[in-house]
Amino acid sequence: MARPLAEWRERRRRRRFAWRLYRQAVAQARRPEFYAVCGVPDSVEGRFELVTLHVLLLWRWLRRRAGEEEPLAQAVVDAFFTDIDRNLREMGVGDLSVGKHVKRIAGSFLARTRDLAEALDRADADAVAAILARNLEEPGRPPADAAALARYALAQDAALRGAAPPDPAEARVPFLPPRFGAGGDDARH
C-alpha cells in the first residue's frame, strides 16, 4: 500500500512543479515586447504561437536532462493542454465539442513543435524565421518580425541548453529577457 501512495504523491508533486514551470512559459510569452516591438498579433492565434514556442523551449530544456526531468517535461505539456481545455470552455466552446477542438489543437501543436525543434536542432535561423512567419501570418496585418523572433528563440534555446536542471524549491525557468530593436540584441547577453 505504501508504494502506490508514494507514486501518487510523486505524480502530484510533479504535476504541481510542472504547472509552476508552465506558468512561467506563459508569462514569458505574454511579455509586451513580442507584441509591441516584434509585431506579433495580440490575438488568440498570436498568443498561442508564442506560448507554443515557449512550451517547446521549456520542454527541450527538461528533456535534455536524463532521468526525472523526462516525466516532468511530459507533465508540462499536459499542463499546456489542460490549460487549452480550460480556455476553450471559458470562451464558450460546448462540452461536447471541446475534445474535437483539443484534438485539432494538439495536431497543430505537434506539427509546429516538430518543425521548430528540427530547425532549432540545426540552429537554422532562416528555417526558424520561416516557420514563425508562416504561423504568425494573419490576413490584413503587417507581418511579425520573424527574423528577430528566430534569433530570440535560438538564443533562448542555447541559454537553456547550458542551464542547470530546475530546482523544485524555486521552480524557476531561466528565460532571458526579450530584447529587440535598437539597443537590444534579440535576447543575447
pLDDT in the model for residue 66: 60
Residue 150 lies in a domain: yes
pLDDT at 68: 61
Whole-number pLDDT of residue 87: 86
pLDDT at 189: 40
- pLDDT given for residue 170 in this prediction: 83
Alpha carbon distances (Å) from 168 to 31, 69, 75: 24, 11, 14
- Whole-number pLDDT of residue 188: 46
For residue 156, what is its C-alpha cell? 533562448
Confirm whether 187 is domain-assigned: no
Is residue 26 domain-resident?
Answer: yes
Q: What's the confidence (pLDDT) of residue 22? A: 96
Q: What is the pLDDT of residue 82?
A: 92
CA distances to 3, 50, 84, 166, 172 from 46, in Å: 44, 6, 14, 28, 25
Looking at the domain assignment, is residue 152 inside a domain? yes
Helix (H) / strand (E) element for 21: namely helix 2-29
Q: Which of 87, 156, 99 is CA-nearest to residue 125?
A: 156
Q: What angle do CA 168, 170, 171 make, to 5 degrees?
A: 60
Split into its structural domains, the chain has a count of 1
Residue 58 and residue 47: Cα distance in Å, rounded? 16
* Residue 48 covered by a domain: yes
Q: How confident is the model at residue 182, as a pLDDT? A: 55
Residue 40 structural domain:
2-161
The label of the residue with cell 462540452 reads 95
DSSP 65: S
- Running along the chain, 189 residues long, what does each successive block of 10 average in pLDDT? 79 92 97 95 93 96 77 93 89 83 89 95 97 91 93 96 86 91 52
Residue 96 lies in a domain: yes
* Cβ neighbours of residue 91 closer than 8 Å, sequence gap 6 or more: none
DSSP H helix total and E strand total for the chain: 7, 0
- How confident is the model at residue 64, as a pLDDT? 84
Q: Does some domain include residue 63?
A: yes
Supply the pLDDT for residue 7: 84
pLDDT at 1: 59
In-domain check, residue 184: no
